[in-house]
Structure 1
Amino acid sequence: MEALKCVLFFLTVANWCESANILYVVPFTSKSHYIMLKPIGLELARRGHNVTVITGHRDPNPPPNYRQVMVDEKEIWDVIGGRPNVFDMAQTSTEEFHYNILWKGGLAFMEVVLDSKEVKAFLAEDNKFDLVINEQFYQESLNVLAHKYNAPLALVTTFGNCMRHNILVRNPLQLSTVISEFLPLEDPTSFYGRLRNLYFTVYEYIYWRYWYMNEQERFVKKYIKGLPEPVPSLYDLQRNASLMLMNSHFSFDTPAAYLPNVVEIGGSHLIRSNTTLPADLQKVLDNAKNGAVYLNFGSNVRSAEMPEDKKNAIINVFRKLKHTVLWKWEDDHFKNKPDNLIIRKWMPQKEILAHPNVKVFISHGGLIGTQEATYNGVPLIGIPIYGDQFNNLLQAQSFGYAKILQYNDINEENLYKLLHEVLTNDSYAKNAKEMSRRFQDRPMSPLDTAMYWIEYVIRNNGAHYWKNPALELSWIAAYMIDVYLFIFGVTLLFLYVVAKVVSIVLSAFSGKKTKKQKTKRS
C-alpha cells in the first residue's frame, strides 16, 4: 500500500506543470535526427503546452497547439551544391569530416535558416516563451533565442556524450573511457586510443571555440535584431544551459559520470508509435517462412549511389539466401533483382524491426537505427561510413550481437561469411534479446524522462541551483590546477631544503673527518 502511495505521488508530481509556451528548434537537414526529436515536441503538445517548432520537416497531422515555422529543406541543400554522395565520406579523416561537413556545412545551413522568410517573420513577432529547446548540433546561433525571450535554455543531442558541452559545463571528461562523439577508435582504452582521444578533444574544442563560435556570433549580429542589451556570448549562453538531454543510455553506451542536469534519454523516439506496417509489407514479413533480412543505410546514405562492384556483391549474396530480403532503395530502377528481394524508396524501420520474422539488420550503424535494432532485439551487420557509426557498431559488437564489415572490405565472400555466421549462430539473437531487455529496463520510459526534466526546468524557472558551482570558478580553480601547483611547489621547496640540510651535514661530517686525518698524520 505504501509503495502504491509513493508511485501515485511521484506520478502526480511528474505530470504537474502549468501550460507553458515552448520554442523548440529541431534539425533542418537529417531526417533521422528529426525522427528522434519530433516525439519530444509532440509529447509536450499532448501534455497541454503550446509548442512552436522551427524545422525543415513538416508534421502532416500536428495538434492545434503545435505551430510549425518551416524552413525549405531543398534550399538548405542547394546552398552547399546539393546532397553529397555519402559513400564518398568513407575515406574522409575525422578532422576533414569536422571541417568540411560539420563546421562548414553547419555555417551554410545556419545562414539559410536565419535568412528564410518564415523564420524572419517569426522573429519579428512579439512572442513570449517559458523555455527554449535547441538541438546541440552546430546551430549554436539559435541559442541566443533564449536571451531574446528571457527564457531558460535546454539542449538536446541526437548522439550521446558531447565533449564540447562537457568542457563548457565542467562535467568530468573521463577521456580514458568516454570517446569524443565522432572519433572512430578500434581500441579506445589503449595508450594510442587515449592519446588520440585527448588530442582530438583538444583540437575540436579549440577550433570550435575560437573559430566556429565566432562565425555563429556573426550570424547573430547579422540576422537577429533587437536583442536586449547586454547580449551574452553564445559561449556563455550554452555554458549556462539549464538542461542537456542526451540520446544515450548506460545499458548500451559507456557508463559515465554526469552532472544532475545532464540526462540520458536514449531511445525516446521508440515509445508511443501509432504507425503500423503497410499491408503489403505486413503480408511479406508474415509469409517470410525462412525469416527476413533487412538492409537500410539510413536517411542520408542512399544505397542507389553505391559503387557497382559493391552493389553487385550484395545482390549476389542475397540471391543465395532462402530468406526474404527488404532493402531501402531510392532509385526507380534495379537491375538483376533477385526474386526474394523487396525494394522500397522508404521503409518504416521501427515497425519492420519489431516484426518477429526479421533475423538480421544490415545497417550503416547510425545511432537511431542501432537503438531501434537494440530495442527490438535484432542482430546487426554494420557497415560504417562516417561519424559515430563505427563507435556505435563497436559497442554492439562488444556485446555480442553485431559484426562489423568495413566499407572497403565489401565483397561477396566477406558479406556472405558474416551473414551466414549471424543467421546460423544462435548467440547473436540471444545476446540481442538480452540487450533489448537491459535497454528497456528503466524506472520511466525515455520519453517520460525527457518530459519530467523539461517540465522540472519550467517549474523551477531554469533550476539554476542544479548547475555545477564550478561554473563560477576559473578553469584553473575548477580543475584545482593552482592547488596542485602549490603542492608541487611546496614539495619541491621541501626537497630542496632537505637536500640543502643533507649537503650541509655531509659537508660538516666530511670536514671533521679531514681534520681527524690531519691530526693523526701530525
Structure 2
Amino acid sequence: MIPISLLIFIVVCGVVNISQCAKILCVFQMPSNSHQVVFQPVWRELSLRGHQVTVLTSAPLKDPTLVNLTEIDLGYLREILTDKFNFIQTNSVRAWPHRKIEEVYKMNYLLAERILKNEQFKKIYQNPNTKFDLIIIQSYVGPIFHALGEIYNAPVVAINSMNAFIGQHFEIGNPHHPAVYTDMYTEYQGELTFLERWHSTFYYLWARYFIYFEGMPKSDAIARKYLGNDIPYLGESVKKLSFLFTTTNPTLIVPRPQVPTHMEIGRLHLKPTKPLPKDYQDYLDNAKEGVVYVSLGSNVLSSMVPEKFRSNLIEALGKIPYKVLWKYEADNLKNLPKNILTKKWVPQQDVLAHPNVKGFVMQCGLQSLEEAFSRNVPVICCPFISDQLMHIKRLEKIEAAIGINPDNVSVDEFKSAIMEIINNKKYKENVKKINDLWNDEPMKPLEKVIWWIEYVIRHNGTSHLKSPTATLPWYQFFLVDVISATLLVFFMPIYLLYLLFNKCCASNKKITSKKQKKEQ
C-alpha cells in the first residue's frame, strides 16, 4: 500500500514536470549535413525530455519513437547550394571576406523566402492560435528568423554549427576589438601584423556599415513580407537574443572575452563507436601497413574540386606505402592506383576509430576536425571555404596538423605531407593533447546546451544577463558624442579668442585709419 503522502508527492512532481514542458519551434535553414548534424542531438534531446518540438530541417531524424517531435523536411533547399549558389566558389578562402559576407547574406535571403513559402510552415505561422514558448534558430549570417520571436512573443536562442559571425558578436554584445579579434571569414589568428590589423579594422567598420545599412534592412523587408508589418524593426529584434551557442573551442579559436549569454560548445554530434559494416571492417583489418582516410566533407565534394588538385592527390596517394579509403561521391574516376578504395558514403566516425587509420586528408571543416581529434587521428588540411583557413593556421601553430594550399600543391608536397603526418609522432601527440583538453569539462556539451535552453524557458529569456553593449547606439559605442563634446569644449574657447582677436584687430584698424585721416 503506497502512502497517500507519497502519492501526492508523485502527482505534484508529475504536474510540475508537465508544466515545465514547452512548445518549441526550431528553424535550421542551412541545407548542409555538416551543419544539421550539430542540431539533431539538440532537438532529439528536447523531445525526449517531454517538450513539444517542431523542427524545420533538411535532415529530419524520422524517428517514430520521438512522439513529441514534428519535422518539416527542407531537403529541397539543397539545390540552392549547388544550382543557384555556387558555395565553393562564393565562399572560397581566397575570396575577400566582405564578398563572402555579401554572398552568404544573399543565400540566406533566398533560403528564408523558400522556407517562409513552405505550405506546412505557413499553416503554422499564419494560424493566430499557434503558440510557442521558445524559438531556436540557426543564426548563420542571417537575422531573418529572429522575427519569429516577435510574432510569438517568445525568447530566441541561436545555435551555430561554427564560430560566431562578426555581426553576432555585435548583436550579443561581445567585446570585439579589431586589433585582436577578427571574423571567422578572415584568416587571421592570434597576434596580428600591422597589415592584418589595418585590414581587420577596415573590415570591422565595413561590417558595421553593411549589417546596419544593407543586410538588416533587406532582411527586415523579407520578414515583413511574410510575417506582417506589425513586428518591430529586425535590427531591434536581434538585440533581444536570449542565448547564443557557438561550436567553437579555445584550441581552434583565439580565447576571447564574451558575455554570459554566449557559450562555446562543441562535439555535440560525436557518437560512441559502432561496429563497421563488414566490407569496411575487412578492408581496414587487412591493412596491416596502415590506412590513409580521405574526405573533403559534405560541402566541398571530392568530385567537385579542381581537376589539377584531384589528379595530384591521386598520384600522391598512389605513391605512399599505405592503403587509402576515399569518400568519393561520383563514378568518374578511372584507372586508380591499386591501393585506393573509393566509397560514396563512409561511416566516418567509426572508420576514424579503427586503429589502422594513420592519417586523415581533409578540408579542415570543424565537425570533421572534432571527429578526427576525438579518435586521435592527425590530419592534413586542404582548406577550400569558410573558416577552414583560419582553423589550419591555428593548428599549424600548435603543430597538430599540416596545411596544404589546394591551389598549387604538387604531387611531391602531398606525398611528403602524408608521410610527415604519419611518421612524426609529435602530430599524433599534439592531437591527443587537444582531445584531452576538450574532454576535461564539468558537463557534457549536450547537457550544457539543454540546461541553458531550459533556463531560458524557465525565466522567459535572459534580459537579466544582457550586456549593455548589445543595445548601445553606434554613436555612443564609437564615442562620437563624447569626442564631439570634448572637441567642442576644447576648441570653443580658442574660437572665441580668435573672434575676439579679430574684433580687436578690426577695431584697432578702424582707430588707426581714423588717425591717419585726421593727420592728413
> What TM-score does the superposition give when structure 2 sets the normalisation length?
0.85
Q: Distance in 1 between matches of 2:94 and 2:253?
A: 26
Which residue does the alignment assign to 1:198?
A: 201
Within 5 Å, give how 1:195-274 maps onto structure 2.
Answer: 195-225=198-228, 229=230, 231-270=231-270, 272-273=271-272
Q: Is the 8 A contact 2:189 2:254 kept in 1?
A: no
Query: Is this contact kept in 2: 1:87–1:306, CA < 8 A?
Result: no
After superposition, where does 1:331-342 map in structure 2 within 5 Å?
Answer: 331-342=330-341
Q: Do 2:139 and 2:158's aligned partners in 1 also have CA atoms closer than 8 Å?
A: yes
Contact 1:290/1:323, CA 8 A, preserved across alignment: yes
- Structure 1 residue 117 corresponds to structure 2 residue 116: no
Q: Which amino acid letter does the alignment assign opposite residue 33 of structure 1?
A: H
- Flag the 1:368–1:80 CA change in 2: closer, same or farther, 3 A: closer
Q: What are the equivalent positions in structure 2 for 1:327-406 lying under 5 Å apart?
A: 327-406=326-405
CA contact (8 A) 2:141 2:165 kept: no
Secondary structure, counterpart of 2:235 in structure 1: helix
| Per-residue CA distance 1:477-497 (angstroms, 9 max, x = gap) | 456554566667778899x8x
In structure 1, what is the Cα distance between the partners aligned to 2:67 and 2:208? 41
Q: Distance in 1 between matches of 2:131 and 2:304?
A: 46
The residue type equivalent to 2:70 in the other structure is R
Give the AA of the match of 1:239. K
Give the direction of change, closer, same or farther, for the CA distance of 1:492–1:286 in structure 2 (3 Å limit): farther
Counterparts of 1:479 and 1:94 in 2: how far apart (Å)?
A: 23
- Matched AA of 1:122: I
Contact kept? 1:86, 1:302, Cα under 8 Å: no
Match for 1:160: what amino acid?
A: N
Pick closer, same or farther for the CA change 1:470–1:204 going to 2, 3 Å. closer
> Greater CA deviation, 257-266 or 81-90?
81-90
Letter in 2 for 1:403: I
Q: Secondary structure at the match of 1:409?
A: coil
1:40 to 39, 42, 47: 42
Corresponding letter in the other structure for 2:318: R
User: CA contact under 8 A between 1:370 and 1:392: conserved in structure 2?
Assistant: no
Change (3 A) 1:354 1:462: same
1:131 counterpart (114, 126, 134): 134
**Matched-pair identity in %:** 27
Tell me how far apart the structure 1 counterparts of residues 357 and 82 of structure 2 sit (CA, whole Å).
38
Matches within 5 A, 1:25-104: 25-61=27-63, 63-71=66-74, 73-75=75-77, 77=79, 81-82=83-84, 84=86, 86=88, 89=92, 91-100=94-103, 102-104=104-106
Quote the offset at 1:212 in angstroms: 1.9
- The letter for the 1-side match of 2:333 is F
Q: Is the 8 A contact 1:248 1:267 kept in 2?
A: no
Task: Find the aligned partners of 1:493 and 1:383 in 2 and give their Cα distance.
Answer: 59
Kindly state the Cα deviation for residue 221 of structure 1 after the two structures are TM-superposed. Answer: 2.1
Please say if residues 79 and 109 of structure 1, whose CA atoms lie closer than 8 Å, have aligned partners that are also in contact: no
Deviations 1:234-271 (A, max 9, x none): 1111111110111112233211101000111122222x
Relative to structure 1, the CA distance from residue 467 to residue 80 in structure 2 (aligned partners, 3 Å threshold; closer, same or farther) is same
Deviations for 1:159-204, whole angstroms, at most 9, x for unmatched residues? 1133212223332103223221111237751111112112112222
Q: Deviations over 1:82-141 (max 9, x none)?
A: 5637268465333333323x1222212222111122222232333221110111114422
Cα distance between partner residues in 2 of 1:196 and 1:80: 31
Cα RMSD (Å): 2.9
After TM superposition, give the deviation of residue 470 of structure 1 in Å.
4.0
In 1, Cα distance between the equivalents of 2:83 and 2:319?
40
Q: Shift of residue 338 of structure 1? A: 2.2
Pairing 1:182–2:182 present: no
Pair 454,274 (structure 1): closer, same or farther in 2 beyond 3 Å: farther
Q: Is the Cα contact below 8 Å between 2:190 and 2:254 reproduced in 1?
A: no
Corresponding position of 1:141: 144
AA partner of residue 320 (structure 1): K
SS in 1 for 2:269: helix
Specify every segment of 5 or more residues in structure 2 that has no aligned partner in the other structure, as ranges.
1-12, 499-520
Distance 1:267 1:175, change over 3 A: farther
Distance 1:195 1:131, change over 3 A: same
Residue segments in structure 1 that go unaligned for 5+ positions in a row: 1-11, 501-522
Aligned-residue offset at 1:276: 4.6
Q: Which residue does the alignment assign to 1:512? A: none
User: Aligned partners of 2:336, 2:460: CA distance in 1, in Å?
Assistant: 59
User: Are the counterparts in 2 of residues 314 and 415 from structure 1 also a CA contact under 8 Å?
Assistant: yes
Q: State the distance in 2 between where 1:398 and 1:216 align.
A: 39
Query: Is contact 2:54–2:70 with CA below 8 Å preserved after alignment?
Result: yes
Paired AA for residue 340 in structure 1: N
2:85 and 2:107 map into 1 onto residues whose CA distance is 11
Q: What SS class does the counterpart of residue 246 from structure 1 fall into? A: strand
Question: For residues 417 and 114 of structure 1, what CA distance do their matches in structure 2 show?
Answer: 50
The answer for the alignment partner of 1:503 in structure 2 is none
| Structure 1 residues 234 and 275: alpha-carbon distance in aligned structure 2, compared to 1, 3 A threshold | farther
**SS of aligned partner of 1:325:** strand
Which residue pairs with 1:462 in the alignment? 461
Paired residue for 1:318? 317
Aligned residue pairs total: 479
**1-structure distance, mates of 2:165, 2:358:** 33
Distance 2:216 2:141 in 1: 9
Q: Is the 8 A contact 1:79 1:108 kept in 2?
A: no
SS of residue in 2 equivalent to 1:403: strand
- Aligned residue for 2:160? 157
Alpha-carbon distance change, 428 to 472 in structure 1, aligned in 2, over 3 angstroms: closer
Q: Distance in 1 between matches of 2:343 and 2:290?
A: 18
1:464-479 → structure 2 map (5 Å cutoff): 464-471=463-470, 473-478=472-477
**C-alpha separation in 2, matches of 1:486 and 1:217:** 34
Distance of 2:437 and 2:273 partners within structure 1: 24
2-side partners of 1:250 and 1:310: how far apart? 31
Would the aligned equivalents of 2:93 and 2:388 in 1 still touch at CA under 8 Å? no
Provide the residue aligned with 1:509 in structure 2: none
Amino acid at match of 1:97: K
Q: 2:504 maps to what in 1?
A: none
- The one-letter code matched in structure 1 to 2:34 is S
Contact 2:173 2:468 in 1 (8 A): no
Q: What is the identity, as a one-letter code, of the residue corresponding to 2:207?
A: E
CA distance in 1, matches of 2:133, 2:273: 29
Q: CA deviation at 1:472?
A: 5.3
Q: Deviations over 1:487-520 (max 9, x none)?
A: 67778899x8xxx9xxxxxxxxxxxxxxxxxxxx
